[in-house]
Structure 1
Amino acid sequence: MKSFEHPAHRSGYWWIMLFLALPAVLFLPWAASDARAEAQKKFSSPEEAVQALVAAIRAGDVKAMITILGPGGKELVSSGDDLADKVGRDKFLRSYDQKNALQQGTGGKTILCTGDDSWPMPIPIVRKGGQWAFDSMSGKREILQRRVGRNELHVMDVLHAYVDAQQEYAGKNCSGTGLVEFAQRIVSSAGKHDGLYWEAKEGEDQSPLGPLVAKAAKEGYANPELNPFHGYYFRVLRGQGKHAKGGTYNYVVKDRMILGFGLVAYPAEYGNSGVMTFIVNQEGVIYQKNLGKDTRRKAEAMKVFDPDKTWKKVADTEKKD
């Protein structure tokens, strides 16, 4: 991905080491500018700074966390995904309670290390005017890169699962029409099988997206059509444009989606939950594009799968003969 690299990462540690690092999956609008933020809180020692941050995390006091972290802290504390934020905080606290220590870094910086592996928190504590404070800006880029990278990798897994689920839906005649028909919804209408997921009754086969939705539910996520999932929104595309294989046509004929299917996945908060927008259709090849700060409006206006030359294929997603 062009704008934010996907560095090799140990995702478990990034959830554990700091709730700030990967708190988000679903993303609220960018918080108010730092210019309006309260003055950053300073402390008499690095130990006092850590104790204050940990206490704020235990209390779930977002305002206190932001004041402690200072400029740049809002995007780190609130990813927009309340569930992911809580999961990240809980993992950080478990790691901190397991083991914690302050180590001296370069340039007079003090680093909080947590867990049995002494994983270093990316936000150092520095001396400012005779007092100590967290230097959030120095670690912010790395944190956001890792958050974005993790979410984008999750999204590609979801797109692959969507393609497989649509093929299963059509192959098993889940619609009950006897036609090779694809689902126009992700989650079925109440009492129907018109989507890729429905709550299976006793003795009934699991829906095509059952395993994925079950996993999401276990993580605490609700309806993926109404809420972002791992920082992304998903919308079904019901046709394709001239740049797609086979040219322009609608997938839907007489209210039934029988000629193909498509999906667009776009970040709920550009630059915070994700950068790239992704599209896929029945060919199973994923394309990506950076739609910029106006991502949400552009993605929500998208009606068809149409990967022109500005869209790039994601490596290793093209079908092999």
Structure 2
Amino acid sequence: MLRRFAELGWLGISLPAEHGGQGGTFVDECLFLEETARGLAPITAYGTGLTAAQTYLHWGTDEQKRTIVESICAGSFEAIALSEPGAGSDLASARMPAVLDGDHFVLDGQKTWTTAAHLAAHILVLTRTDSSGGKHEGLTLLMVPADVPGLVVRPIDTMYGHTVNDLYFTDVRVPADAVVGTVGGAWRQLNRGLGVERLIIAASSLGAAERSFDDLLGYVTRREQFGRTIGSFQAVRHRIADLATEIALCRAFLYDVADRLDAGDESGLSRDSSTAKIRCTEAAKQTALEAVQLMGGYGYTREFGMEAQVRKALAPPIYGGTNEIQREIISRSLGL
């Protein structure tokens, strides 16, 4: 499906034309993510590639930028490996070593929760190249080919199938020029990319919320009980109105943040992208759960698809650092 989208020229919308992208705005990209999620297009992991691209575009070499952008626009997946068994939301605690040996780095260790690694062309890997300083120092990003010898990818089965993986590195060697940005500078390099990642998650979650809402609205306007459609009962109408209000507010805020990002205003990106991610992911979950309740037994069946929407909506609040981490970012921005 992703390659079909590539043939239509629909991928890499916000990526720069000089590296093979479409040269559009991030607002354009959010619209694409929203509508493909609303239409249930099976391209969820496309957003992971966009997240990785943010770091390559701001810190990578021209060759790295061109390779990654052309890969995404051609319909290939790209992955980013940050989490470890002992370092999830607390990425600064990552310990997987990358030891310089001549003109190569040698990687040994494990990464986990890596989306689309089983499909990816390259994996952006967070490593520790120096343990002598504080935990925010000595972190380095490396561009690792997914087919490099010594790398084993094992699926993690979840309630929504196989999307994430454990990665095991055993004497994996990559050239020294695989460094993205500067050696030891990964913490600063990651921050902007993670801010944009939260907007990517928010846009997809907004589309998921709209899909659940559309299906619910269609159901309550057709289903009859006691001689009238269930959507005509005040209790149901008001619950629908609350969902519509929340979705509208999420959409307005998300696109305001995306528009400011396009204008070059990144002053509140970390805080505002966290806000957008919390509200949009929670709206998707709330809408799907409300829909199951209002659809009664039919909402619980696979025939109507709402149970799949519920399972899908449970994961995004965890993506990009859990929503509790996003709340911590917002709290700190308030001086708490």
Question: What TM-score do the two structures reach when normalised by structure 1?
Answer: 0.37
Q: Which has the larger radius of gyration?
A: 1
> TM-score normalized by structure 2?
0.36
